[in-house]
Amino acid sequence: MKTTSTKPRGWSLPILQGALPIKADQVPAEIIAGLTLAALAIPEVMGYTKIAGMPVITGLYTMLIPTALFALFGSSRHLVVGADSATAAILAAGLVGIASVGSDQYVALAALLAFMAASFLILARVIGLGFLANFLSRTVLVGFLTGVGIEVALGQVSGMLGLKGGGHGTVEKVWADLQQLDAVNLYALAIAIAVLVVIVGSKLVSKKIPGALIAVIGAIVLSLIDHTRRGYRPKNALLVPDASGVLKPRPVTSGAQALPGLIIYRFTHGMYYANAQQLSEEVTGLADSAEPPLRWFCIDGSAVDDVDFSAAETMRSLFAILKDKGIRLVVAQLMDDVEDNSRYHFHQLFGKDAFFDTVDDVVDAYRSAVIDSRKIEAAVSLPPLTDRPSA
């Protein structure tokens, strides 16, 4: 009896062999697995880029691009694809003596090294050198990976302690950490200890508990809380000239004036609903308690990258309050995109002449408009203001 072969004829591109077939009942689990991998891998590759001395964005490239390509052309669902601590450490060790870490030359050399490694791997595949892996004993691999793990762990001590760190080799880094122990950041140390406790403790309770994922999510939440805290209560300042005429920051509580009748108030965060109340309280408080009484109030917007609706309404209210007190509100060093693209028509409200490029321009304009025109007492002596950079 003659049989007919069912083997497809011709050549076909082997793609999606590791992903197919996709079963409907497995899709929810696959989605959860993908989210878990992303939550773990994103901070992980960010750490690898620090080890390798590369920009953070390159770590995301090493995670996203290889994973996408392997999903198309790979044939295994279990193979780990992407950067790892061993290759990051080897790359840094090879390039640190050739170029400055993080420089354009360093990044270019790292890219060249990556292409060279890829070329050698493709060549090894073509000529069939995969059998060489059989000569790497488990003892050698365990020893190598353990050594790399220790090196990487010691390199992260400075980050866990919130230290500046320093040095190139492992010994130099450890020595630099020991010299900086008096500057340990207790908040960073507490977070690091909490992460380790969660990871190790979850394994002791049950290996099914994703301790690393819980720790990563917890760290992200703490970061968001810290960011919100800093934005909610920014540490603002008043700019006051020192003996040489250079503007220096002083605490808001000092009530210090840049010139008699002029306060320069630096707001150090984007203005939004959460800190609008602080903005209002500090500005009105300074205006009410100023001695001598204010004629100009300048808001230094060099750190303001956004103004939301609530903050805009607060600014409108402050403009009206200060105007009733006979105080002119002006703004200096506001970012171009914030000033030009504002939906809240500050130019129409304050007047275009209320916006200055620098705080020095404000000082000069104030002197011209108030002091030279003798609108304050002629007896007031002013410190000389020379050409100087703003703080």
pLDDT in tens, 181-238: 888 888 888 888 888 888 888 888 887 777 777 887 887 787 778 777 778 889 999 9
Task: Using the predicted structure, report yes or no on whether residue 338 has a pLDDT greater than 90.
Answer: no
Q: Which long-range contacts (CB under 8 A, 24 or more apart) does 11-20 make?
A: 14/73, 14/75, 15/72, 15/73, 16/71, 16/72, 17/74, 17/75, 18/70, 18/71, 18/74, 18/75, 18/76, 18/77, 19/71, 19/77
Task: Using the predicted structure, report yes or no on whether residue 152 has a pLDDT greater than 80.
Answer: no
CB count in 10 Å sphere of residue 33: 11
Which of these, 391, 50, 90, 57, lies nearest to 249 by C-alpha position?
391
CB count in 10 Å sphere of residue 123: 10
Give pTM, 2 decimals: 0.55
Note the Cα 16 to chain centre separation in Å: 36
Amino acid at 80: V
Top mean-pLDDT range of 6-20, 125-139, 240-254, 358-372: 240-254
Q: Which of the pair, 158 or 357, is modelled with greater confidence?
A: 357
Q: Which of the pair, 323 or 67, is modelled with greater confidence?
A: 323
Least confident of 286-300, 307-321, 372-386: 372-386
Task: Using the predicted structure, report yes or no on whether residue 376 has a pLDDT greater than 50.
Answer: no
Would you state the pLDDT for residue 339?
A: 63
Q: How far is residue 218's CA from residue 391's CA, in Å, rounded to a whole number? A: 37
CB count in 10 Å sphere of residue 74: 18
What average pLDDT does range 317-341 have in this prediction?
Answer: 85
Question: 185: which 2 tokens?
Answer: 């950041």
Task: Using the predicted structure, report yes or no on whether residue 378 has a pLDDT greater than 70.
Answer: no
Average pLDDT value over all residues in the chain: 81
Least confident of 27-31, 111-115, 176-180, 329-333: 27-31
What average pLDDT does range 105-121 have in this prediction?
Answer: 89
Would you state the pLDDT for residue 379?
A: 44
Backbone angles phi, psi at 375, to 5 degrees: -90, -10
Beta strands 328-332 and 296-300: pairing type? parallel
Q: Which of the pair, 223 or 317, is modelled with greater confidence?
A: 317
Q: Strand (E) positions, the chain?
A: 237-241, 247-251, 262-266, 296-300, 328-332, 355-356
Q: Which of the pair, 358 or 340, is modelled with greater confidence?
A: 358
pLDDT band at 258 (very low <50, low <70, confident <90, very high): very high
Instruction: Encode pLDDT of 37-58 as tens digits.
Output: 777 777 778 778 878 888 888 8
Question: 91: which 2 tokens?
Answer: 């790359």
Q: Which of the pair, 390 or 333, is modelled with greater confidence?
A: 333
Task: Using the predicted structure, report yes or no on whether residue 274 has a pLDDT greater than 90.
Answer: no
Q: How far is residue 346's CA from residue 322's CA, in Å, rounded to a whole number? A: 15
Task: Using the predicted structure, report yes or no on whether residue 28 has a pLDDT greater than 70.
Answer: yes
pLDDT band at 14 (very low <50, low <70, confident <90, very high): low
Inter-CA distances, 210 with 64, 199, 200, 347, Å: 22, 8, 11, 54
With pLDDT > 70 as the criterion, what percentage of the chain qualifies?
86
